[in-house]
Structure 1
Amino acid sequence: MAKKDLYKFTIQFSEGDPLHQQTADILNRQGRRKAQFLVNAVMHYLHCSETPDIPQPPPIDTNAIEMIVRRIMAEESSKPIAGEQSIQPPAQRSIKSEQINFGDASDLLGEDGIAAIKNTMASFRK
Protein backbone atom coordinates (compact mmCIF):
# COMPACT_ATOMS: atom_id res chain seq x y z
CA MET A 1 0.00 0.00 0.00
CA ALA A 2 1.48 3.32 -1.08
CA LYS A 3 1.66 6.27 1.24
CA LYS A 4 -1.27 8.64 0.66
CA ASP A 5 0.68 11.90 1.02
CA LEU A 6 4.45 11.63 0.55
CA TYR A 7 5.08 14.99 2.23
CA LYS A 8 3.02 14.54 5.40
CA PHE A 9 4.29 12.71 8.51
CA THR A 10 3.05 11.84 11.95
CA ILE A 11 5.68 10.97 14.53
CA GLN A 12 5.50 10.23 18.23
CA PHE A 13 8.38 10.63 20.63
CA SER A 14 8.94 8.36 23.61
CA GLU A 15 8.00 10.08 26.87
CA GLY A 16 10.46 7.93 28.79
CA ASP A 17 13.52 8.88 26.75
CA PRO A 18 15.22 12.11 27.87
CA LEU A 19 16.59 12.75 24.37
CA HIS A 20 13.11 12.39 22.91
CA GLN A 21 11.75 14.77 25.56
CA GLN A 22 14.42 17.34 24.76
CA THR A 23 13.82 17.02 21.02
CA ALA A 24 10.05 17.38 21.45
CA ASP A 25 10.61 20.53 23.55
CA ILE A 26 12.87 22.01 20.85
CA LEU A 27 10.34 21.22 18.12
CA ASN A 28 7.45 22.64 20.13
CA ARG A 29 9.36 25.94 20.42
CA GLN A 30 9.50 26.17 16.62
CA GLY A 31 5.81 26.93 16.32
CA ARG A 32 4.69 26.69 12.69
CA ARG A 33 8.30 26.36 11.45
CA LYS A 34 8.84 22.77 12.59
CA ALA A 35 9.15 21.47 9.02
CA GLN A 36 11.86 23.96 8.09
CA PHE A 37 13.71 23.28 11.35
CA LEU A 38 13.65 19.53 10.63
CA VAL A 39 14.80 20.08 7.03
CA ASN A 40 17.74 22.18 8.24
CA ALA A 41 18.64 19.66 10.94
CA VAL A 42 18.50 16.63 8.64
CA MET A 43 20.44 18.32 5.84
CA HIS A 44 23.12 19.47 8.30
CA TYR A 45 23.33 16.01 9.83
CA LEU A 46 23.72 14.32 6.45
CA HIS A 47 26.33 16.75 5.13
CA CYS A 48 28.36 17.47 8.26
CA SER A 49 31.76 15.79 8.19
CA GLU A 50 31.71 15.44 11.98
CA THR A 51 28.40 13.56 12.08
CA PRO A 52 28.78 10.31 14.00
CA ASP A 53 27.32 7.10 12.65
CA ILE A 54 23.94 6.22 14.08
CA PRO A 55 24.37 2.99 16.04
CA GLN A 56 22.04 0.26 14.86
CA PRO A 57 20.94 -2.57 17.14
CA PRO A 58 22.21 -5.97 16.04
CA PRO A 59 19.68 -8.03 14.08
CA ILE A 60 17.76 -10.60 16.08
CA ASP A 61 19.16 -14.08 15.53
CA THR A 62 16.01 -16.15 15.04
CA ASN A 63 18.05 -19.36 14.87
CA ALA A 64 19.43 -18.68 18.35
CA ILE A 65 15.94 -18.01 19.69
CA GLU A 66 14.67 -21.21 18.11
CA MET A 67 17.50 -23.20 19.72
CA ILE A 68 16.72 -21.65 23.11
CA VAL A 69 13.04 -22.52 22.75
CA ARG A 70 13.95 -26.09 21.80
CA ARG A 71 16.28 -26.37 24.82
CA ILE A 72 13.58 -25.07 27.15
CA MET A 73 11.05 -27.45 25.64
CA ALA A 74 13.44 -30.35 26.16
CA GLU A 75 14.07 -29.30 29.78
CA GLU A 76 10.37 -28.87 30.46
CA SER A 77 9.41 -32.16 28.83
CA SER A 78 11.78 -34.02 31.14
CA LYS A 79 10.12 -32.60 34.27
CA PRO A 80 7.28 -34.68 35.72
CA ILE A 81 3.88 -32.99 35.65
CA ALA A 82 2.18 -32.86 39.06
CA GLY A 83 0.02 -35.97 39.50
CA GLU A 84 1.34 -37.69 36.38
CA GLN A 85 4.15 -40.08 35.65
CA SER A 86 7.38 -38.75 34.25
CA ILE A 87 7.32 -38.27 30.49
CA GLN A 88 10.30 -39.75 28.72
CA PRO A 89 11.94 -37.58 26.07
CA PRO A 90 11.99 -38.97 22.51
CA ALA A 91 14.75 -41.47 21.83
CA GLN A 92 16.35 -39.41 19.07
CA ARG A 93 16.97 -35.69 19.13
CA SER A 94 18.48 -33.79 16.23
CA ILE A 95 20.06 -31.14 18.48
CA LYS A 96 21.43 -31.64 21.97
CA SER A 97 21.50 -28.64 24.24
CA GLU A 98 25.15 -29.37 25.07
CA GLN A 99 26.02 -28.73 21.42
CA ILE A 100 24.45 -25.27 21.34
CA ASN A 101 26.21 -22.11 22.48
CA PHE A 102 23.40 -20.31 24.29
CA GLY A 103 25.67 -17.64 25.74
CA ASP A 104 25.31 -15.32 22.76
CA ALA A 105 21.56 -15.74 22.58
CA SER A 106 21.19 -15.38 26.34
CA ASP A 107 23.16 -12.14 26.18
CA LEU A 108 20.96 -10.96 23.34
CA LEU A 109 17.68 -11.84 25.06
CA GLY A 110 18.71 -11.18 28.66
CA GLU A 111 17.18 -12.80 31.72
CA ASP A 112 13.78 -11.27 31.03
CA GLY A 113 13.75 -12.66 27.50
CA ILE A 114 14.67 -16.15 28.66
CA ALA A 115 12.03 -15.97 31.42
CA ALA A 116 9.42 -14.85 28.89
CA ILE A 117 10.22 -17.82 26.65
CA LYS A 118 10.04 -20.21 29.62
CA ASN A 119 6.70 -18.77 30.74
CA THR A 120 5.32 -19.01 27.21
CA MET A 121 6.39 -22.62 26.92
CA ALA A 122 4.88 -23.42 30.31
CA SER A 123 1.59 -21.84 29.18
CA PHE A 124 1.53 -24.05 26.10
CA ARG A 125 1.94 -27.12 28.27
CA LYS A 126 -1.13 -26.31 30.42
Structure 2
Amino acid sequence: MSIRKVGGVFLRVTNLEKSLEFYTNFLGMEVAFTEEWDGTPEANLKTTEQNLFLTLIEQDEVQVLKEPVFNLVTDDAIAMHTALIDSDFNVTEVENWTSEYNHHVLFDVYDPDGHALNIIEMQPITK
Protein backbone atom coordinates (compact mmCIF):
# COMPACT_ATOMS: atom_id res chain seq x y z
CA MET A 1 0.00 0.00 0.00
CA SER A 2 1.35 3.44 -0.93
CA ILE A 3 0.23 6.99 -1.75
CA ARG A 4 -0.61 7.31 -5.47
CA LYS A 5 -0.78 11.10 -5.86
CA VAL A 6 -1.54 14.40 -4.16
CA GLY A 7 -5.30 14.89 -4.29
CA GLY A 8 -5.30 18.61 -3.62
CA VAL A 9 -4.19 21.49 -1.47
CA PHE A 10 -6.66 23.31 0.80
CA LEU A 11 -6.08 27.02 1.28
CA ARG A 12 -8.17 29.21 3.58
CA VAL A 13 -8.97 32.70 2.27
CA THR A 14 -10.96 35.59 3.72
CA ASN A 15 -12.65 36.70 0.49
CA LEU A 16 -13.40 33.92 -1.98
CA GLU A 17 -14.47 36.27 -4.79
CA LYS A 18 -11.31 38.38 -4.55
CA SER A 19 -9.12 35.28 -4.32
CA LEU A 20 -10.81 33.70 -7.33
CA GLU A 21 -10.05 36.82 -9.36
CA PHE A 22 -6.36 36.53 -8.45
CA TYR A 23 -6.01 32.79 -9.06
CA THR A 24 -7.99 32.80 -12.33
CA ASN A 25 -7.30 36.18 -13.96
CA PHE A 26 -3.69 36.61 -12.87
CA LEU A 27 -2.40 33.05 -12.45
CA GLY A 28 -4.51 31.45 -15.20
CA MET A 29 -6.10 28.69 -13.13
CA GLU A 30 -9.64 27.55 -13.94
CA VAL A 31 -12.59 27.01 -11.62
CA ALA A 32 -13.62 23.36 -11.86
CA PHE A 33 -16.64 23.85 -9.58
CA THR A 34 -17.83 25.68 -6.48
CA GLU A 35 -19.79 24.28 -3.58
CA GLU A 36 -20.39 24.66 0.14
CA TRP A 37 -19.12 22.41 2.91
CA ASP A 38 -21.36 22.77 5.95
CA GLY A 39 -22.36 26.24 4.77
CA THR A 40 -18.79 27.35 4.02
CA PRO A 41 -18.22 28.57 0.43
CA GLU A 42 -15.35 27.01 -1.45
CA ALA A 43 -14.02 26.77 -4.99
CA ASN A 44 -12.04 23.98 -6.60
CA LEU A 45 -9.41 25.14 -9.08
CA LYS A 46 -7.44 23.30 -11.71
CA THR A 47 -4.49 24.09 -13.93
CA THR A 48 -4.22 23.45 -17.66
CA GLU A 49 -2.44 20.14 -17.05
CA GLN A 50 -4.10 18.88 -13.87
CA ASN A 51 -7.58 18.29 -12.67
CA LEU A 52 -8.47 19.38 -9.15
CA PHE A 53 -5.47 20.87 -7.48
CA LEU A 54 -6.32 23.80 -5.22
CA THR A 55 -9.39 24.27 -3.05
CA LEU A 56 -10.01 27.77 -1.72
CA ILE A 57 -12.16 27.79 1.42
CA GLU A 58 -13.62 31.07 2.67
CA GLN A 59 -13.26 31.79 6.39
CA ASP A 60 -13.50 34.95 8.48
CA GLU A 61 -9.93 34.56 9.75
CA VAL A 62 -7.04 32.67 8.19
CA GLN A 63 -3.53 31.69 9.16
CA VAL A 64 -1.39 33.29 6.45
CA LEU A 65 1.28 31.09 4.87
CA LYS A 66 4.29 33.41 4.88
CA GLU A 67 6.52 30.82 3.17
CA PRO A 68 5.38 28.84 0.12
CA VAL A 69 4.24 25.28 0.79
CA PHE A 70 3.88 24.40 -2.90
CA ASN A 71 4.90 25.84 -6.23
CA LEU A 72 3.02 26.54 -9.42
CA VAL A 73 4.81 25.65 -12.65
CA THR A 74 4.76 28.03 -15.61
CA ASP A 75 6.38 28.05 -19.04
CA ASP A 76 7.46 31.70 -18.76
CA ALA A 77 8.31 32.88 -15.25
CA ILE A 78 9.76 36.19 -16.45
CA ALA A 79 6.58 37.17 -18.33
CA MET A 80 4.41 36.18 -15.37
CA HIS A 81 6.65 38.12 -12.98
CA THR A 82 6.37 41.23 -15.17
CA ALA A 83 2.57 40.89 -15.50
CA LEU A 84 2.13 40.52 -11.74
CA ILE A 85 4.32 43.57 -11.06
CA ASP A 86 2.37 45.56 -13.67
CA SER A 87 -0.83 44.57 -11.81
CA ASP A 88 0.63 45.84 -8.50
CA PHE A 89 1.00 42.46 -6.80
CA ASN A 90 3.70 41.93 -4.20
CA VAL A 91 6.41 39.72 -5.73
CA THR A 92 9.99 38.83 -4.83
CA GLU A 93 12.93 39.22 -7.18
CA VAL A 94 13.44 36.55 -9.84
CA GLU A 95 15.99 33.88 -8.94
CA ASN A 96 17.90 31.70 -11.41
CA TRP A 97 19.76 28.57 -10.45
CA THR A 98 20.77 25.31 -12.04
CA SER A 99 20.77 21.86 -10.53
CA GLU A 100 22.14 18.69 -12.06
CA TYR A 101 18.76 18.11 -13.73
CA ASN A 102 17.06 21.49 -14.37
CA HIS A 103 17.57 25.19 -14.83
CA HIS A 104 15.13 27.03 -12.52
CA VAL A 105 13.66 30.51 -12.84
CA LEU A 106 11.46 31.33 -9.85
CA PHE A 107 9.92 33.95 -7.61
CA ASP A 108 7.25 34.24 -4.93
CA VAL A 109 3.98 36.15 -5.26
CA TYR A 110 1.57 36.96 -2.45
CA ASP A 111 -2.16 36.39 -2.93
CA PRO A 112 -4.82 38.85 -1.63
CA ASP A 113 -4.58 37.35 1.88
CA GLY A 114 -0.77 37.46 1.84
CA HIS A 115 -0.18 33.72 1.28
CA ALA A 116 3.21 33.17 -0.36
CA LEU A 117 3.08 31.15 -3.59
CA ASN A 118 6.18 30.03 -5.45
CA ILE A 119 6.05 30.40 -9.24
CA ILE A 120 8.67 28.33 -11.08
CA GLU A 121 9.82 27.53 -14.59
CA MET A 122 12.06 24.48 -15.00
CA GLN A 123 14.02 23.63 -18.13
CA PRO A 124 15.65 20.18 -18.20
CA ILE A 125 19.41 20.05 -18.58
CA THR A 126 20.35 18.04 -21.63
CA LYS A 127 23.41 15.89 -21.21
Q: TM-score range by the shorter chain?
A: under 0.3
Structure having greater relative contact order (Cα 8 Å, sep ≥ 6): 2
Compare CA radii of gyration and give the structure with the larger one: 1
Using the size of structure 2 for normalisation, the TM-score is 0.22
The structure carrying a bigger helix percent of its residues is 1
